[in-house]
Structure formats: structure tokens, C-alpha cells
Structure 1
Amino acid sequence: MASSERGIVAILLGDDPELLVRDLQDRFPRAELVGGDRDYEELVARVVGFVEAPAIGLDLPLDIRGTVFQQRVWDALREIPAGNTATYRDIARRIGAPASVRAVANACGANALAVAIPCHRVIRRDGTVSGYRWGVARKERLLEREKS
């Protein structure tokens, strides 16, 4: 997880902590790596708690960085309630760009705020789970947790 003065800028998922740290360092080369900060660890714990029990909700200050189009997509994603899904086409229509289905998919792929911007709730038109920056199996597990 990474944050700025304005809020969280990245929540990355993965199985290899070293790769995740390297990814954050690549994204934010001038950032200061902080460990052992109690307040920050509480923030991380809230995110982990949300992943484990999505019903608790996640209300965190976010510093959302992206193009205007990406931000429109991400705002629409944040309106999908836990336990529900939408198609890429649904999102394109919601943002007033019905012909931009692929651009919506690309915006989902560019999302660096896993779970806070729930791109895992977007599925294919035929109802299948596909494409997820952090792996389809992880996307399926997140969706299953939200149904519980």
C-alpha cells in the first residue's frame, strides 16, 4: 500500500511481498518507505479486514490518479455494491460512453487501488470472470467472499 498527504494512492495485491514492494518503488521512486508506523499499520489492517470481510465496507481517503476517463470509470465502479457485478458494457453505458467497452476494460487494468476501486466486480457480458490485474483466480475469490 502507498499513500500521499491526500490519501491512499495504491493498494496492490500479490503473493510475493518483495515484488509488491518493488512495484511500489517503481511507481513512486521518490517515496519514503516506512515500516513500523502504528497509524499506517492500522490503515493497512483496515484494508486487509475489508478483503477478508467485504461487508464491513471500506471508507478510506483516496488519492485517485488517472485520466479523466479512467476516473469516470473508477467512480462508476465504486458505485457497484459488494456482492454485485456489472459488465464492461454496463460501465461504458453508465459513464455515457457506450462504444468505449475496451477503454473501460483498459481503465480497469490501470487501476492501482485494488478493492478500494472494485474492478474485480466487472465481468464479461456472458457472465464469465476474465482479466484481472492480480489474477483471475484472485478475482474469483474476491467475488466469492463478497457473496458470503
Structure 2
Amino acid sequence: MTEDDAKRAREAGMARAEEVKGLVQTERQRQAERIEARLAQRRNNLRKREAAVVQGHQWVEARVELDQERERLQANPVSKTKNKQLLKELHKVNNIIASLQQGGPGSPPQSRLGAVSPPRSPLPAARLVDIDDDLEGSEEEV
């Protein structure tokens, strides 16, 4: 083997090494892109799962609140509620209905034309007579 052959072999080896180096680099880049794509997909799946869990918790909380409200309403039926409390709730409902009919949500009650004020009780606010107790002859102070 002559010096020229050795030189050519060395140059061919270096060229082959550069070629292999380029192939290794492109393979590394391809693998890195695949890994990043998988990580991005995992992140998206995790976000979706977290959103589903949060929504599930919100639904559970809403169900619990509804159950508590039902229990509260069943524990305190309308027949046992005092007149003053019933009138307050009636006024609230009338105000809500009036606001929905007149101006919609967000408009102040004073600015609506023809807004109906809730009816006032003919009885003084300090003393209301419970209908059931009136039959028995006793009055209940509120």
C-alpha cells in the first residue's frame, strides 16, 4: 500500500465518518421530535383529564348543594314558615319577575318605567298572625 492509497483510504474514511455523523444527527433530531410530540400529546391528554375531573367535581358540588337545599326545604315546609318570611320571599320573587319583565338583568329597579313594587302586608311588620295559630286563638310575634 502506497502513500496515495493510504491518503485516499483516510479521506474515504473521513467522508464516511462525516456521512455517518450526519445520519446520526438527523436520527437524533427525528427521535427528539418524536419524543416532543409524545410529550405534547401527553400534556393535552392530561389537560383533558384535569378538565373532566374539575367538571365532575363541579357537578358533584352542585348536586350536594341541590340536595342540601331540598333537605332544607323539606325540613321547613311552607305550612310551618312564618308569614313574614313568606312575604319576604314573595317580595324577592316579585322583584325578580319585575326585573325580568321590564329591563332584564343588570338594569337598576329605579330606572325601569312602570316597575311594580311588591304588595305590602296590611298587617304591621312587628306582629303577624299565623293562620293556624289564629284558629286556636293565639298570636305569634315575629
Shorter chain as denominator, the TM-score bin is: under 0.3
Answer with 1 or 2: which has the greater Rg. Answer: 2
Q: Higher helix share goes to which structure? A: 2
Q: Give the TM-score taking structure 2 as reference length.
A: 0.19
Whose RCO is larger (CA < 8 A, sep 6+)? 1
